[in-house]
Amino acid sequence: MNAAYSLDHRRQMTGMSFVAPTVLLIAIILIYPIIQSVVLSFGQSSIDGSEPYEFVGFAHYAKLMGDERFWNSMAVTFTFTAISIPLELMLGIGLAVLLNESFRGKGIARLAVLFPWALPTALNTLMWRWMYNADYGLFNAVALQSGIVDRPINFLGDEWLAMFSMVVVAVWKTSSFMALIILAGLQSIPRDLYEAGRMDGMSRWQEFTQITLPLLKGPILVALIIRSMDALRTFELPFNLTDGGPVIATESLSLYAYKVIFDFIDFNFGAAIVVVQFLVIFAMSLAYIFVLRTRN
């Protein structure tokens, strides 16, 4: 063919042309908007571009620092993350160990734990909201009929109960994802280690703490980081469960940003919020990549 260029050069050009559509689309959908958000956050402008962009420096950020509702949403987000992740991790490890056993009906069991992950969070949340319902929900029906309580519990109407209810939905949905990742790690542990352990007279519990857990460090770390980043940007869960309520007790950072942008129609201030959120999550993702790189 074209012998004017070296083999390597032609290969590079072909490769670049294969990568180009992907890089272009990612640049348009993911990278450019972030840059634009940064620009928006430093200025005052109108949505449709009818008014010229006016640079205001750190004004929005200064306002953000004094914004109680912003700090509330940070606190909500981190509380939610800090409570749900350890629970998911414990349940995930438990489920993974369970699913690693061989028993009849294992296929069904694995499918069962996969379903909550596979369904849309928004719709999962609706299912739970229906069960939490103060007047007609399943939980209150059972609690009232069995006499545990004599007045219906307002799950979503109390600050702490609402947070707790939200955590339950998240844990229900994502423990299975944790379990699957950890299960893959479990299956890569050589069986003869357990046989050696048995020869040494280890109990089941000792097998778990002496062999399984130490060898699962890697997968657990991966699962933890992926899930933390997910939890830090949680949106449709509070959107559908409580709409951030009662008042703002479950208003996550994402939800607050959304409301500022689309309910209060303040794109510039909203942009400042999402930039902060982006920085927090991006720092975490860099840590994630760093951890993975050092592992390999």
Nearer to other proteins, 65 or 279 (CB): 279
Nearer to other proteins, 84 or 254 (CB): 254
Scanning residues 61 to 90, which ones bind other proteins (CB under 8 A)?
Answer: none
Question: Contacting other proteins (CB under 8 A), which of 73, 124, 165, 174?
Answer: 124
Phi-psi region of 152 (alpha: psi -120 to 50; beta: other; left: phi over 0): beta
Question: Contacting other proteins (CB under 8 A), which of 166, 236, 242, 250?
Answer: 236
Nearer to other proteins, 161 or 229 (CB): 229
- Contacts of 47-52 with CB under 8 Å at 24 or more apart are 47/265, 47/267
Scanning residues 242 to 261, which ones bind other proteins (CB under 8 A)?
Answer: 254, 257-258, 261
Residue 107 engages other proteins in binding (rule: CB under 8 A) = yes
Residue 141 engages other proteins in binding (rule: CB under 8 A) = yes
Residue 26 engages other proteins in binding (rule: CB under 8 A) = yes
Question: Contacting other proteins (CB under 8 A), which of 98, 153, 211, 215?
Answer: 98
Single out the residue of 6, 194, 178 nearest to residue 95, CA to CA: 178
Helix (H) or strand (E) holding 55: strand 54-55
- For tokens 């912003």, the residue is 70
Residue 199 engages other proteins in binding (rule: CB under 8 A) = no
| 12-26 burial: b if 16+ Cβ within 10 Å, else e | eeeeeeeeeeeeeee
Residue 123 engages other proteins in binding (rule: CB under 8 A) = yes
Smallest gap from Cβ 163 to other proteins, in A, equals 19
* CB contact at 8 A, 132 and 155: yes
